[in-house]
Structure 1
């Protein structure tokens, strides 16, 4: 089976008109951050801690860093607008120097696109009214027109990213068709607030879909890991990284022999304001980054990493 190292659509070009796949060539560093929930200050702090922005909040990852944000950028906190403006800027700045910034849809992005505002902060100053917010998240709105093109799932090298988790049902050797299906279903589903036209939630966007699923994080490990292995084998990848399921202890959760990581540690002050990011380095080294330092979670090459190294040595010999 041919290895699918990319899926699309992934990130905006500098003109914010098209989406392309982020490559995973060479010794690139992947940094992943979880749910940010409308807290600009905490977001900037965690991005500085991970070394992807500087003290002026500009891209500092250079050409060898891929930043992945695993959804739920918005809601609960009061800085939704600021965060929705921050990430397109970082996408552009990273792109211009050869780096990459990638977002995947969280369940809160999906809810806002559908006009479900149950978790909006009552003190949020960024929108004049609920009607204005709904307009901004519409397909032609200032935020909706970009969010409708954000992928539901994303793959970089031998790692897949989602907000909740990708079950075998939604797994494939190439994730492109799942993103296309999700985008099509989202456009049909998200018809605006209080609409009689709303269809039932499509499965790809539902409770067992990649943006909502919690089984890998909450099921008994024997059950979760058996299902996870099936999904990873179908996708031909080594590991999965998600947010969505809050880790109250503020630590990245590693399960299934370091093949599944949960990085929602409650970064937003709407929760606990705890800081953590995940770092994936060449050779399958995985580390958690905390204000107190780094913790190595996985040291060795995974099966795909080992295969690539062996293949490279064959071609060099």
Structure 2
């Protein structure tokens, strides 16, 4: 039992807290990462967050939400990865121009104020809501619960925003997103949108499904395939 391994429930809670060794390590890890041409995010990065924050901004903002002030991250408005608004709603740090002229309406969570230069910017309160609210990269279930057309539209818009930001830095495009957070009832990864969206939470823990499911997604070049096994 996991509680026994930690020496009891209070000890486990302390270890995983923002002041605990394991908790600090976990909170310092990126919530969104790009490997090759694949975006990995716990629950997924919706178009608004991809447009307003991008991969680096989302990770930086989440660290500020999850880690205590004692870690010395400084003031929110000093973070160069996030396009902050000043008191008049003007951008303090210029945001990356959007990849498209429109934002997908489905599950839209836009909270940006528009600066006098027409570029999006965020207040601290809105940035916190964008990354740690119900539609943030740790909690959204939009990619799993929307129908195919809506989920694929969201994924395509997010990938386009991330690709545009990477192109501005001379980096190659991204072509798919792999997300977890919502266990698949059949114990196998779900490939949506022709493989451009992968739902990879299969309920590995025995507490999620009967006995736990063992499965993985293999990505080789442009090929995406499911590998499904059976737990002992």
TM-score normalized by the length of structure 2? 0.62
CA distance in 2, matches of 1:258, 1:245: 17
What is the CA distance between 1:276 and its match in structure 2?
Answer: 0.5
- Deviation, 1:207, is 1.2
Q: Looking at secondary structure, tell me which structure has more helix per residue.
A: 2
1:129: how far off? 4.3
The number of equivalent residue pairs is 162
Q: Does 1:256 align with 2:193?
A: yes
User: 1:202-245: CA deviations, max 9, x gaps?
Assistant: 32122100111111111121122112211110011200001111
What is the distance in 2 between the residues matched to 1:234 and 1:163?
A: 18
- Whether the 8 Å CA contact 1:186–1:205 is kept in 2: the answer is no
Q: In the TM superposition, what are the counterparts of 1:46-61 in structure 2 within 5 Å?
A: none
Q: CA RMSD in A?
A: 2.7
Q: TM-score, normalised by structure 1?
A: 0.47
Q: Any residues of structure 2 matched to 1:1-317 within 5 Å, and which?
A: 78-79=1-2, 124-172=3-51, 175-188=55-68, 202-203=128-129, 204-236=131-163, 237-270=174-207, 271-272=209-210, 273-282=212-221, 284-291=222-229
Q: Post-superposition shift, 1:289?
A: 1.2
Which runs of 5 or more residues in structure 1 are unaligned? 1-77, 80-123, 190-198, 293-317
Give the direction of change, closer, same or farther, for the CA distance of 1:275–1:243 in structure 2 (3 Å limit): same
Mark the CA change 1:188 to 1:206 in structure 2 (over 3 Å): closer, same or farther. farther
Cα distance per residue 1:282-302 (max 9 Å; x no partner): 2x111111238xxxxxxxxxx
Kept in 1: contact 2:177–2:196 (CA 8 A) = yes
Structure 2 counterpart SS, 1:291: strand
8 Å CA contact 1:152–1:162 kept in 2: the answer is yes
Does the Cα contact within 8 Å between 2:215 and 2:226 map onto a contact in 1? yes
Shift of residue 130, structure 1, vs aligned partner? 4.2
Q: Where does the alignment leave 5 or more consecutive residues of structure 2 unmatched?
A: 70-124, 164-173
1:139–1:267 Cα change, 3 Å = closer
Q: Is the 8 A contact 1:135 1:141 kept in 2?
A: yes
- Cα distance in 1 for partners of 2:140, 2:62 equals 15
> Per the alignment, in what secondary structure is the counterpart of residue 227 of structure 2?
strand
Q: Which runs of 4+ in 1 moved over 6 A?
A: none
